[in-house]
Amino acid sequence: MDLKEFFILSLLLCCAQFGWTRMPRNYLDETSASHVNVMDFEAVGDGETDDSQILGHILAPSEISSWESKHVETWILFDSIKGLTINGSGSGKIDGQGSSWWECKSEAKCSSAPTAVGVNGCDDFQINGLKFVNSQGMHVVLNKCNGVKISNVEISAPEDSPNTDGIHFQRCKNVEITNSVIGTGDDCISIGTATSNVNISKVFCGPGHGISVGSLGKHDSAAVEQIHVSNCTLRSTMYGARIKTWQGGSGFAKSITFEDIIIDSTDNPIVIDQYYCNGNHNCGNNTSAVEVSDVKFINFQGTSSSKTAIKLACSETVACTDIHLRQVHLKTPESNEVKAYCLNVKGTSTDVNPDVPCLDN
């Protein structure tokens, strides 16, 4: 067995506790561990050597009963690895077979579901040419990573599949996502707290909830900055470019730019919402908020499925400041006029249709 073949099996080894996958027999004879370090098998891990390819399909168990009493939050986990590159070569697929989980959640019998692929504490980590489909919960979650490159990936799940975010990351820095197609039942890409220096470009998103910064500030102070999203298309999504924060939070979200965005039949193309409250949460009024500043929406073109194409809803006590819209042209699919909602926002509006009443022209 060569290194590439072993790596494919080592991915499956992460899930060995379920007893439904096949591992190298001699390895299992020697250890009962459910984790494997590919560096022990002469993987180079320099960020350049092609140590790892996924050429076939990796399938999760389809029935929830297969997961019972396993206490699994993440199906496949990469933990504390430096310089690993995963190459799907356009044919590798990770299939969560999550429909039973979606049904369980829709019936309120399950409050959560496993993440398909987790990446924790990994530096100089790359994913290229891989397909992710039908995750039980989120498809890819990155936490505490530095130097991540994700390119040429496809992520798909039905529009009504709950909480199946495409890519979510938090406590990360120096992240690049390019040339990818994502369509799910939640955010195509969501950016969590303690994250900086992110570049997202040439991403097609839809269906889903758009590309979001947040939600931020629910449990603790938020810190997000230097986010750049460009040359993306959002089609038939619930939201387009969105910043969402909970009341009662603290911290900041700043230096955020969305530019050169095509909007195609999106319900809410441009959103800043400091009153975010989802699910069954009882969100009372609270005067504190995550401070949102230095945000730019530049060159948005296309159609809004709702009459309110721009929604900027900010706190009276912690207003959104230094907010700038430029070259934004939105109409309904029938070429009718749309409108903007604006509350407690300071900034400028240049060549924008619809007019944003609380911004200086």
DSSP state of 15: T
Per-residue HEC secondary structure of 279-338 comes to: CCCCCCCCCCECEEEEEEEEEEEEEECCCEEEEEECCCCCCEEEEEEEEEEEECCCCCCC
Q: What is the mean pLDDT of residues 48-53?
A: 60
* Cα(23)–Cα(25) distance, integer angstroms: 6
**How high is the pLDDT of residue 23?**
29
The answer to whether 207 and 237 are in contact (CB under 8 A) is yes
Q: Is 98 helix (H, G, I), strand (E, B) or coil?
A: coil
The model carries a pTM of 0.87
Q: Over the stretch 217-257, which tens digit does the pLDDT of each residue have?
A: 887 789 999 999 999 999 999 999 999 998 888 899 999 99
Residue 151: alpha-carbon gap to chain centroid: 14
Q: Which residues pair with 298 in a beta bridge?
A: 259, 326
Which are the contacts of 103, defined by CB distance < 8 A and separation ≥ 6?
Answer: none
**How high is the pLDDT of residue 356?**
97
Residue 196: alpha-carbon gap to chain centroid: 15
Q: Over the stretch 125-176, which tens digit does the pLDDT of each residue have?
A: 999 999 999 999 999 999 999 999 999 999 999 999 999 999 999 999 999 9
**How high is the pLDDT of residue 27?**
33
Angle (nearest 5°) at CA 230 between 225 and 235: 115
What's the residue count for the chain? 361
Count other Cβ atoms within 10 Å, centred on residue 219.
9
Indicate the residue type of 284. G
Q: Which class for 36: exposed (0-12), middle (13-18), buried (19 or more C-beta within 10 A)?
A: buried
Residue with tokens 């499956």: 12
Tell me the two tokens of residue 99: 């429909």
DSSP state of 25: H
Q: What DSSP string runs through 107-170?
A: TTS-S---EEEEEES-EEEEEEEEEEE--SS-SEEEES-EEEEEES-EEE--TT-TT--SEEEE
**How high is the pLDDT of residue 277?**
83
Q: What is the CATH number of domain 50-353?
A: 2.160.20.10
Q: Over the stretch 90-136, which tens digit does the pLDDT of each residue have?
A: 888 999 999 999 999 988 888 889 999 999 999 999 999 999 999 99
What's the Cα-to-Cα distance from 312 to each of 260, 275, 306, rounded to whole Å?
A: 19, 10, 15
Angle (nearest 5°) at CA 117 between 73 and 34: 65
Residue of 307, 242, 240, 295 whose CA lies nearest to 269: 240
Active-site residues, by number, are: 209
Which are the contacts of 68, defined by CB distance < 8 A and separation ≥ 6?
Answer: none
Q: Which H/E stretch holds residue 239?
A: strand 239-246
DSSP state of 248: T
- The pLDDT of residue 24 is above 70: no
Residue bearing the bigger pLDDT, 14 or 49: 49
Residue of 270, 287, 289 whose CA lies nearest to 347: 270
